[in-house]
């Protein structure tokens, strides 16, 4: 809000001229009136009066009409409307079950009236399908707080990821002093943490703090045989009954998330049945450049800076056919997430087992998603797969998870320590279903005949959706960029991006509102057809226009299409760390037909 607008409001409430040091001042009552004028939302007042018959109060019947007609709320009655009044009205009208304009505004800013479907904040999906039917929230280099060369390794990385609902975390394991395995990014200058501390203070304590559904420990096992045995001992003694140890022979298919509640699953290589103690297994469980635990030769000076050049980071190549020893004690803890080297989809179809899973680099996965789309989808229906960032991403940057979710990839592992749009998409994907870390994949990715042509045309679906953002109506309390001077006033505009299947992707932009971050009004309409709603994300971005082209981001919000509520909704903005920017929001009107 610029100075002239503020001055006009000030003069409206000034009942008598008072000067203090030559400056006009207002009293306590006038300040209350001034604050009330600041909070006025003409766009909400119009909506309020439409249903109150231009009276100053809404009764339960009128509020019910608003909920059913505008908000498209089902399973609501007059009694429920009265409950909303009781919850959100704070004036003297509350005892008589009336809602004032202020109460109406509070109600529309509530979680129930948010653009995100309030009912999806709890687990509502079928959790009794095989694990391969779900997207699984997954972290890469979970222990790192920053880059992969000299960043800090910390238990906090695991705690943060688990509290965010992440269900697959990575343990990069190396031999440590005093026969104690350590976790760090091998052959780099990243700091080291003890495995037993991670298990005790993070995995055991926080695995089920946010979600009761299973956690997968993805082991990058660089350990000697002796320390593998220590690893197995720590897993059993520290995690105890949490550890999922049911033999594969007692199962015929991947279990469901529900059947695995509060269980921790180990992902690692496994010795063949009836193998001898300490038998060797193939080192080629990973696709190319993740981890290189299984290289035969370890540089004695690997902790020194010059070792970075000698060993090569990233992308240290291992010799094909390399075999390493695997401790029987560790192998016995591996069951439904047995790591195997990926050869081809045809090989997996002929010889792959339901309990085997592979890991692919983002580059390999993107190539397969482009060239063998149908086979990729078919593979993901039966076996689990984990995708991880390219080893070239030394800065712990992220890659785009959406093309890999589009083919049904389960564990698209991202660097949770790194902010940006790709983590924003990840947050949007896994906020639903109670943020439990498991999201049921679309039916066409798990059952029936998959035909990419029918999907892109929309023929496969009984109904395509036209989403009409009838209006991006207004904004409230938009923040200034950190770098701007205190006296600067922002010039905000909104970008809407649709991500998902390539046929649905598009971008829209509003006009720029000059000199108003307090309560800008846009009143612009955007309409777009969504052919594959199950894969679509809608990303709202608010920027500050700059003649220099900097156009700093002020806030954003991303939502998976199937979580969108129709009607007059607030989009509550978050910062780059996905933290709410209270009370910043944009007000939209959405219809889906």
| Average pLDDT of the chain to the nearest whole number | 87
Residue 317 has pLDDT above 50, yes or no: no
Which tens digit of pLDDT belongs to each residue from 157-190? 999 999 999 999 999 999 999 999 999 876 666 6
CB 332, CB 305: distance < 8 Å? no
Interatomic CA distance for residues 587 and 303, integer angstroms: 54
Quote the pLDDT of residue 307: 33
Q: Average pLDDT for residues 436-461, to the nearest whole number?
A: 80
Quote the pLDDT of residue 456: 60
Q: Average pLDDT for residues 484-511, to the nearest whole number?
A: 88
Residue 306 has pLDDT above 80, yes or no: no
**Where do runs of H (alpha helix) occur along 383-459?**
402-405, 421-431, 443-446, 452-457
The CATH class that applies to domain 131-270+323-445 reads alpha beta
CB 175, CB 222: distance < 8 Å? yes
Active-site entry in 120, 140, 501, 572: 140
Quote the pLDDT of residue 579: 94
Interatomic CA distance for residues 591 and 593, integer angstroms: 7
Residue 150 has pLDDT above 90, yes or no: no
Which tens digit of pLDDT belongs to each residue from 525-536? 999 999 999 999
Which tens digit of pLDDT belongs to each residue from 538-578? 999 999 999 888 899 999 999 999 999 999 999 999 999 99
Q: Any idea which architecture 41-113 has in CATH?
A: Orthogonal Bundle (1.10)
Residue 460 has pLDDT above 60, yes or no: no
Instruction: Tell which residue, 92, 75, 74, 94, has the closest CA to residue 84.
Output: 94
Quote the pLDDT of residue 470: 62
User: 167 or 280: whose pLDDT is higher?
Assistant: 167
Lowest-confidence range among 130-134, 234-238, 270-274, 583-587?
A: 270-274
CA angle (38 as vertex; 35, 42 as ends), nearest 5: 135
The domain spans of the chain are 41-113, 131-270+323-445, 459-592
CB 159, CB 206: distance < 8 Å? yes
- Residue 341 falls in the annotated catalytic set: no
Which tens digit of pLDDT belongs to each residue from 351-371? 999 999 999 999 999 999 999
Instruction: Tell which residue, 339, 333, 355, has the closest CA to residue 235.
Output: 333
Interatomic CA distance for residues 368 and 362, integer angstroms: 10
Residue showing tokens 């609902």: 165
CATH of 459-592, one of 2.60.40.150, 3.40.50.720, 2.40.30.10, 3.40.50.300: 2.60.40.150
Burial of 281 (0-12, 13-18, 19+ CB in 10 A): buried
The answer to whether domain 41-113 and domain 131-270+323-445 are alike in fold is no
Quote the pLDDT of residue 195: 97
Residue showing tokens 């004690």: 329
Q: Is the pTM of this model over 0.85?
A: yes
Residue 299 has pLDDT above 60, yes or no: no
User: 6 or 222: whose pLDDT is higher?
Assistant: 222
Tokens representing 2? 């610029």
Interatomic CA distance for residues 72 and 585, integer angstroms: 21
Interatomic CA distance for residues 232 and 238, integer angstroms: 10
Burial of 306 (0-12, 13-18, 19+ CB in 10 A): exposed
Burial of 74 (0-12, 13-18, 19+ CB in 10 A): exposed
Report residue 191's pLDDT band, with 50, 70 and 90 as the boundaries: confident
- Residue 185 falls in the annotated catalytic set: yes
Lowest-confidence range among 33-37, 47-51, 357-361, 441-445?
A: 33-37
Lowest-confidence range among 428-432, 464-468, 473-477?
A: 464-468
Residue 235 in 3-state DSSP? helix
Q: What is the 3-state secondary structure (H, E, C) of 328-370?
A: HHHHCCEEEEEECCCCCHHHHHHHCCCCEEEEEEHHHHHHHHH
């Amino acid at each position: 809000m610029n100075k002239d607008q503020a001055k006009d409001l000030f003069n409206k409430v000034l009942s008598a001229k008072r000067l203090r040091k030559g400056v006009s001042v207002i009293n306590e009552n006038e300040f209350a009136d001034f604050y009330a004028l600041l909070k006025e939302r003409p766009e909400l007042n119009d909506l309020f009066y439409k249903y109150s018959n231009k009276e100053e109060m809404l009764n339960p019947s009128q509020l019910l009409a608003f909920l059913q007609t505008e908000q498209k709320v089902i399973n609501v009655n007059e009694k429920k409307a009265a409950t909303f009044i009781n919850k959100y009205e704070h004036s003297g009208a509350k005892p008589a079950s009336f809602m004032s304009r202020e109460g109406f505004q509070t109600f529309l800013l509530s979680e129930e009236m948010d653009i995100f479907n309030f009912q999806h904040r709890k687990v509502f999906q079928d959790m009794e399908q095989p694990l391969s039917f779900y997207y699984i929230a997954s972290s890469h280099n979970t222990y790192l707080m920053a880059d992969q060369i000299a960043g800090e390794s910390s238990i906090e990385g695991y705690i943060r990821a688990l509290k965010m609902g992440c269900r697959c975390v990575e343990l990069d394991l190396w031999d440590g002093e005093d026969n104690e395995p350590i976790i760090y990014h091998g052959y780099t200058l990243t700091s080291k943490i003890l495995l037993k501390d991670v298990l005790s203070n993070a995995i055991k304590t926080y695995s089920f703090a946010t979600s009761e559904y299973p956690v997968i420990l993805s082991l990058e096992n660089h350990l000697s045989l002796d320390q593998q045995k220590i690893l197995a001992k720590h897993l059993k003694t520290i995690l105890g009954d949490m550890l999922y140890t049911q033999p594969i022979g007692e199962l015929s298919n991947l279990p469901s998330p529900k059947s695995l509640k509060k269980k921790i699953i180990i992902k690692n290589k496994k010795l063949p049945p009836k193998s001898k103690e300490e038998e060797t297994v193939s080192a080629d469980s990973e696709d190319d450049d993740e981890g290189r635990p299984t290289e035969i030769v370890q540089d004695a000076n690997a902790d020194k800076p010059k070792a970075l050049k000698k060993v090569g980071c990233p992308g240290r190549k291992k010799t094909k056919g390399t075999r390493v020893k695997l401790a029987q004690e560790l192998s016995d803890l591996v069951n439904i997430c047995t790591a195997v080297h990926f050869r081809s989809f045809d090989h997996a179809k002929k010889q792959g087992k339901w309990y085997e899973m592979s890991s692919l680099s983002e580059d390999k996965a993107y190539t397969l998603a482009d060239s063998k789309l149908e086979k990729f989808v078919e593979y993901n229906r039966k076996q689990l797969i984990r995708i991880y960032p390219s080893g070239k991403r030394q800065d712990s940057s992220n890659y785009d998870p959406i093309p890999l979710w589009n083919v049904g990839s389960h564990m698209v592992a991202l660097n949770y320590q790194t902010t940006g749009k790709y983590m924003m998409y990840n947050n949007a994907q896994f906020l639903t279903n109670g943020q439990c870390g498991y999201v049921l994949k679309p039916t066409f990715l798990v059952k029936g005949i998959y035909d990419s042509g029918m999907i892109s045309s929309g023929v496969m679906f009984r109904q395509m959706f036209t989403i009409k953002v009838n209006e991006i109506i207004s904004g409230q309390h938009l923040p200034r960029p950190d770098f701007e001077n205190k006296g600067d006033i922002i010039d905000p505009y909104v970008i809407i991006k649709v991500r998902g299947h390539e046929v649905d992707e598009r971008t829209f932009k509003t006009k720029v509102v000059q000199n108003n971050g307090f309560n800008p009004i846009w009143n612009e309409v955007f309409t777009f057809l969504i052919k594959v709603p199950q894969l679509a994300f809608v990303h709202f971005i608010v920027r500050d226009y700059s003649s220099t082209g900097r156009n700093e981001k002020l806030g954003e919000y991303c939502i998976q299409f199937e979580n969108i509520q129709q009607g007059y909704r607030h989009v509550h903005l978050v910062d780059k760390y996905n933290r709410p920017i209270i009370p910043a929001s944009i007000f939209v009107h959405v219809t889906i037909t």
